[in-house]
Amino acid sequence: MSSRQRTVLVVDDSAFTRRLVSDILSASGEFRVIGTARNGLDALKQIHALDPEIVTLDIEMPELDGLQTLGYIMSETPRPVVMLSALDSPNGGELTIRALELGAVEFVHKPTGGVSNAAEALGNRLIEALRTASCVNLRGVRMLARPTLVERDRAGGASGAATHAVVIAASTGGPRALAEVIPHLSADLDAAVLVVQHMPAGFTASLAERLHAMSRLTVTEARHGDRIEHGRVYIAPGGMHMRVIDVNGMPLIALDQTPPIWGVRPSADPLFRSAAQRFGSSLIGVVLTGMGRDGAEGLRAVRDHGGYGIVQDRETSIVYGMPHVALTTAGADRILPLATIAAEIMSRVPQRVAQITSE
């Protein structure tokens, strides 16, 4: 971390929140608040006048709301944006996922409860989010600001126990990356897709709903005991590790709240390892954009069991932490730009089906 202070514009319609965020950032010594704004219109004026390096942006505001403001920022003056969201507000989770798709690099859940606890509840998470924002690949943010939507035209075929699977790990920039991968998988995909996206409890349900609306496949937040079936996508719930278990030959999902791994829960490593043991060479492991090293050991397990490893490339990763560590730890069969990963998955699954059929 550089000793130079990053400049920040704080945008929120609440005077209390503006002061709270400003005090937290100023006290950190890492960031310098160069202005505040009470709504989106005010924010855009100050961005042009002050040119802050990072913006913290409230999602729900009068006149010009957070999503509209974010759209203007990413199209006119792109820079890292951290959203402040209230999960307990109407559509709070859905709006947060939309913001991440549109270009926000991180979000922080506004604390509820008394004023005395607000600073403590918000402080560490906010500083962590701005540290992440300080090291994002802005080129990747600009490239992925507008996800492609597809028509909902799902096949009505019967589901069955999956014999092939795809496991995906993602963190910072992941919701936008997943919106570029999951909707481009075909409705007749003969594999199950299991996803770990680092997110707090409550937001993963909104992520699953959003991806479901964009995709030909059925996308759900995973539940303990779910059958793992082909043509379905399972999102690990926030705050829960997700593993694959085998019960009488049927692959099932197991969820637990064992301690965080690499500081996160859900962690991709338990999913990747358990899926590798169950599916072996019929497994594809994918590590997408994100901070940290989660997924690296898991991808090594996938490849050690004969599975196929895909790592997102540096240029299209919002943060090249997880893909880089996965590549150095496990290697990869393919290093790909985000836009080609869905096609690579589709090309691998039919080949595996054909091989099994011919035996």
**Chain centroid to CA 295: how far?**
13
Q: What is the pTM of this model?
A: 0.89
Give the pLDDT confidence score for residue 249 in this predicted structure.
92
* C-alpha separations of 172 from 86, 114, 292 in Å: 19, 30, 10
Give the pLDDT confidence score for residue 350 in this predicted structure.
56
Give the pLDDT confidence score for residue 126 in this predicted structure.
93
User: Are the CB atoms for 38 and 12 separated by under 8 Å?
Assistant: yes
pLDDT band at 61 (very low <50, low <70, confident <90, very high): confident
Question: Per-residue pLDDT averaged across 139-161, rounded?
Answer: 60
The residues annotated as belonging to the active site are 171, 198, 294
Question: Per-residue pLDDT averaged across 184-207, rounded?
Answer: 93
CA distance 205 to 93: 8
Positive/negative CA dihedral, 64, 197, 9, 24: positive
Residue 100 pLDDT > 50: yes
Residue 283 pLDDT > 70: yes
326 closest CA partner among 305, 344, 290, 300: 300
Residue 226 pLDDT > 50: yes
Domains and CATH numbers, the chain: 6-135 (3.40.50.2300), 165-358 (3.40.50.180)
